[in-house]
Structure 1
Amino acid sequence: MSAIDYSQKIPNNVNLNSDRVLQRALEQWQPNFLSWWGDMGPEGSHQHDVYLRTATSAEPSGWAHFDYVKMPDYRWGIFLSPQVQDRKIHFGEHMGEDVWQEVPGEHRANLRRIIVTQGDTEPASVEQQRHLGLTAPSLYDLRNLFQINVEEGRHLWAMVYLLHRYFGRDGREEADALLQRRSGQEDNPRILGAFNEQTPDWLAFFMFTYFTDRDGKFQLCALAESSFDPLARTTKFMLTEEAHHMFVGESGVSRVIARTCELMKKHNVEAPDQVRALGAIDLQTIQRYLNFHYSVTLDLFGADQSSNAATFYNTGLKGRYEETKRGDDHLLKDRGYKILNVVDGKLVEKEVPMLNALNEVLRDDFIKDSEAGVGRWNKVIEKAGLPFRLTVPHKAFNRQIGTLSGVRIAPDGRPVSQEEWNAKASEWMPTAADRAYVASLMGRVVEPGQYANWISAPLSGINKQPLDIPYVRFN
C-alpha cells in the first residue's frame, strides 16, 4: 500500500476508490481547496512552471520525483507510510495492546482536536507566505518557497483525509472550517498565535522555516507515536517533507550571514549602520529576528503544566519525541520534571509531575535541536574571523503562554522591570525601523543563477541540478 495511484482524481495510497462515499466527499472538498489556493496561495504564481518534487510512493526511494509543474496542477493527495504489521501501543495506560485502526469513542473529541489543530497550521503558513514570491532573492529561493507551499497544502490534505474518513459529519464540518479561517484575520483567525503573525520578508521566512517548522517536526514526531495508527502513519510520511522546510530555513539564514560577513571583511566594517550602507543585513538585526521567532515558536508547545498533555499521553494519543528510544517505563506515574516559575521576582525551578509537564519536555527537546543549528550559523561567522556570536535567548524571554506569560525576562535570563524592558526592547526585538530596512532590500531577482546582494549563493543546486537553471519559468 506504499505505491501512490496517480491515475485517480485524488492521488493516494489508501485504496480510496474502494470507499465510494469517502471518495465522493473528498472530491466535493477538492474544488473548495483549489478555490482557497487560488485566493490565498502564492500571489501571481498560477501560470509559473516550477521545478517541484512530488512523491510517487511512501517508500524512502519513491518520495522525490522532480519535474516542472504548474502549482494549481500539483498532484496533492493522501499518502500514509506503510503499515507496520502487529504494531503495539508502546506508552500510556494501553501499553502492549494493539494499535487502533478506528477511533475509540471515548477518545473521539481529543483526537479530533489534535488533528484539527495540526491541520490548521498547514494552510495558515501558506497564507502567511503568499506575498513572498514577489520579492524572492533568486529563482532557487523562489522554487524552495513554492515547494514548501505545495507541501503544506498536501499536509492539509493529510489531516482532511483523517477528518473525513474517521469523524463523520463533525469531521467534514471541521475540514470545511480549515478553508474558512484566515491567518491574521480578526474575526476568524487561525487557531495558534504564531500562525497569525505576518511573514513580511525573506529573513522572517527563513527564521520561520527554521524555528516554526522545527516545532512542526517535534509535534509530528510526537503524533507519529500515536496509538491511532492512521494518524501515526500519516505524520510519519509528513516528516519526510518537513525536513526540507527546515533545511530551507537553516541554509537560508546561513547564506544571509555568509554574505554579511563577506561584505564586512571586504570593506573592513563592523558597525550596523556601516553594514547597512553596503546593502547587507547586520548581524545585530539577525539576532533580533532570531529572538522574536524563537520566542514566539516556544509558545506553540503550550503551557508548561497541562492536564491535556497528561491525558493525551495516558490515553496513548500523543507520545514524546522519540518515545521508543527512552529508557523509562513509558507510564511516567512517579516521575517528576523541573519547570520554571517566578518567585519574588526571580526565576526558580519547580518540580512537577512529568505527566503534567510533557509540553515542557517537548519544548526542551526543541530547544536542544534549535541550539545546534544556531551553533552552525556561528561557525560561519567564526570562519570569517569576526568576534560576533548569535545566541539563543533564555526560554523565559518574551513568553505569552503558561507560567512565564508576560513575565519580563531579558535574553540572558535576568528578570527585569517593565521600565528596563521598555528601554531595552529595541535592542532585543526587531523594531519597525529594522523591518522597514529589511523590507527595503527585498526585490525580486529573476535571472537564473543570480542572487540579491544581501544573500550568498547556495552550495549546490536542487536535485543535483546546476545553480543557473531556471528553477521557475514565468509564463
Structure 2
Amino acid sequence: MSGINYSEKIPNNVNLSSDRTLQRALEHWQPNYLQWWQDMGPEASQNMDVYLRTAVSVQPDGWAHFDYVKMPEYRWGIFLTPQDGQRKIHFGEHMGSDVWQDAPGEHRANLRRIIVTQGDTEPASVEQQRHLGLTAPSLYDLRNLFQVNVEEGRHLWAMVYLLHRYFGRDGREEADALLQRNSGSEDSPRILGAFNEKTPDWLAFYMFTYFTDRDGKFQLSALAESAFDPLARTTKFMLTEEAHHMFVGESGVSRVLQRTAQVMNELKTNDPEALRKAGVIDLQTIQRYINFHYSVTIDLFGADQSSNAAIFYSAGLKGRYEEGKRTDDHRLNNDTYKILQVVNGELKEIEVPMLNALNEVLRDDFIKDTVAGVSRWNKVLEKHGIDFRLTVPHKAFNRKIGSLSGVKVSPDGQVLSEDQWNNHVNDWLPTDEDRAFVASLMGRVVEPGKFANWIAPPVIGINRQPIDFQYVRFN
C-alpha cells in the first residue's frame, strides 16, 4: 500500500486501523508529542501559515505535495516504502535468507538500541534550531527551516512507530523517553554529543544541515540495508526527505559565500575586519565554522574500532553505505581496513579487521561525499575570482571519540603539543568573538523577496515559485 490514509487521526500507509491496540498506544503518545512541539519546537510559530511539502503517498509522484499548513496541524504520520516480498538478507551471517518481518528475540535489544539512537537525533535537531526562526534572513529561509523541522518531527514518528509496533512495553517506554530528553540539558541530555551543541545562528544552521544531516544520510542508508525489513523500509522513505535538508545546508553556505565574494570585489579587499564592517561574513570565519561542524559530525560515526559495529553487521542489523554495489563477499571475515593511530608522535595507518572498522568505513564514505560538496563551494569563489579555497580539516582534527580522542592535531594533519594547539586553536575553531559577530548580523527579514545583507538570494524558489513568493504568512 503506497497511498497514505489522511482520514486517520495518525496518517499512515501501514494499515494502522487494523491493529487497535497499537493505534490506541500511538494515539496516547500523540498528545505528548504535540505538547513537546509546543514547548520545544520552533519558537513563536504556532499560528503561521507555512508553504510546506507533505507526503500524500510514498511513490515518487506523491511524496511532495505543497500547500500552506500551520505547523501544529502538519499531518505527521507513519510512512514506509512498499514491501518487496522477494527481498533477501544480502550481508552478514544470514545472507541469502528471507528478511525479517519481526524482530528476532536474540537481536531485539540491539535493534531497539539502534532505533532509539536514531530516533533521539530527530527531535534533538528541532530543539537545537527552535530559536532560529526569530532571526531568519528571508521568508524563503524561514520556510526551509520549518520544512526541515516538520520532517525531523516525522522522522521521530517513524522511529516511534517501530518501537511501539515491535518492542512491546520496552519500546513504549523508550518512545516516551524520546520526548523527555532535551538537547543541551544537564540532567537529561540527548544521547549523541553533536545533538547537545547549540545552533545559535544561521551560519551554524547551514553547516549543521550540510554536515550533520549528511551523517544522517549515511546512517539511514546503512539502516536501509537492514535484515529487519520494517526498519529498512522506514529509513528508505526518510532518505527522500533527508536530501532536502542537505540542500538547505549546501545552498545556504553557497549563498553566504556568493555575498561575501561580491562585497570582496566591490571593496577590492580580502581583509576580514573590512568585510565584517561591511556586514558580511569573512572567509576565515566560514572556514573555522567548517572545521568545527565537520569535526563534531565525524565523531557521530563512533569509534574507529568497534565490536558493536562488527556484531551489527554480522547479524544483518546494519549494513554499509550502498552495500549492494560492493563487490566483496559481504561477510568480511577475512578483510582488513586501514585506520589512523598515533605512533611515536606521528599519525600512522594500521590495518585492522574490517568488521571492527565498519564505523571508519562509513566515516570515510561520508568524508568523500563531504569533500565533493566543499569543492562546489570553492567554485563559487573561483567564479568571482577569489583565490581563497575552503577545505575540510584532517579527520584526526578536534576528535573526541575513538583512538584519536584528545590527540592534538592541526587541520593539515600535524600532531601537536598541548602548547602548540593552544597557540593556534583560535585560528582553527570559531572563537567567542566570531560567534558574537555572526550573531550580530542575525535579524529577521520578513518582506517577500528581501534578504539579509550577509546572504545572496537563491537562484530559484521552492516548487518553481518566484523568489518573492510569500513562503510564510504571519497571522
- TM-score for both structures, normalised by structure 1: 1.00
In 2, the alpha carbon distance for the partners of 1:316 and 1:85 equals 18
Counterpart in the other structure of 2:294: 294
String of CA shifts for 1:412-447, please: whole Å, max 9, x gaps. Answer: 000111101101000000000000000000000000
**Cα offset for 1:154?**
0.1
Q: Which amino acid aligns with 1:5?
A: N
In 2, the alpha carbon distance for the partners of 1:103 and 1:424 equals 50
Corresponding position: 1:380 with 2:380: yes
**Cα offset for 1:344?**
1.2
What pairs up with 1:27-426 in 2 under 5 angstroms?
27-426=27-426
**Cα offset for 1:269?**
1.1
String of CA shifts for 1:368-393, please: whole Å, max 9, x gaps. Answer: 00000000000000111011000110
Q: Which amino acid aligns with 1:109?
A: A
Structure 2 unaligned runs (5+)?
none
In 1, the alpha carbon distance for the partners of 2:241 and 2:458 equals 20
In 1, the alpha carbon distance for the partners of 2:416 and 2:391 equals 19
Counterpart in the other structure of 1:442: 442
In 2, the alpha carbon distance for the partners of 1:150 and 1:235 equals 16
- Secondary structure at 1:98's aligned position in 2? coil
In 2, the alpha carbon distance for the partners of 1:382 and 1:412 equals 22
In 1, the alpha carbon distance for the partners of 2:318 and 2:150 equals 26
Q: Which amino acid aligns with 1:299?
A: D
String of CA shifts for 1:61-91, please: whole Å, max 9, x gaps. Answer: 1000000000000000000001112110000
In 1, the alpha carbon distance for the partners of 2:256 and 2:439 equals 14
In 1, the alpha carbon distance for the partners of 2:63 and 2:453 equals 34
String of CA shifts for 1:349-408, please: whole Å, max 9, x gaps. Answer: 010000000000000000000000000000000111011000110000000000000000
- Secondary structure at 2:83's aligned position in 1? coil
- Secondary structure at 1:348's aligned position in 2? strand
**Cα offset for 1:51?**
0.1
- Secondary structure at 1:61's aligned position in 2? coil
In 1, the alpha carbon distance for the partners of 2:260 and 2:52 equals 30
In 1, the alpha carbon distance for the partners of 2:154 and 2:52 equals 13
String of CA shifts for 1:277-317, please: whole Å, max 9, x gaps. Answer: 11000000000000000000000000000000000000000
**Cα offset for 1:469?**
1.2
In 1, the alpha carbon distance for the partners of 2:57 and 2:148 equals 19
**Cα offset for 1:452?**
0.1
Q: Which amino acid aligns with 1:10?
A: I
**Cα offset for 1:467?**
0.7
In 1, the alpha carbon distance for the partners of 2:275 and 2:376 equals 22
In 2, the alpha carbon distance for the partners of 1:343 and 1:184 equals 35
**Number of residue pairs the alignment of both structures matches:** 475
In 2, the alpha carbon distance for the partners of 1:422 and 1:267 equals 34
Q: List structure 1 segments (4+ residues) > 4 angstroms apart after TM superposition.
A: none
Q: Which amino acid aligns with 2:52?
A: L
**Cα offset for 1:155?**
0.1
In 1, the alpha carbon distance for the partners of 2:87 and 2:200 equals 44
Q: Which amino acid aligns with 2:254?
A: S
Q: Which amino acid aligns with 1:331?
A: R
In 2, the alpha carbon distance for the partners of 1:63 and 1:387 equals 42
Q: Which amino acid aligns with 1:68?
A: Y
Structure 1 unaligned runs (5+)?
none
**Cα offset for 1:267?**
1.2
Q: Which amino acid aligns with 1:143?
A: R
- Secondary structure at 1:60's aligned position in 2? coil
String of CA shifts for 1:127-151, please: whole Å, max 9, x gaps. Answer: 0000000000000000000000000
Q: Which amino acid aligns with 1:241?
A: E
**Cα offset for 1:322?**
0.1
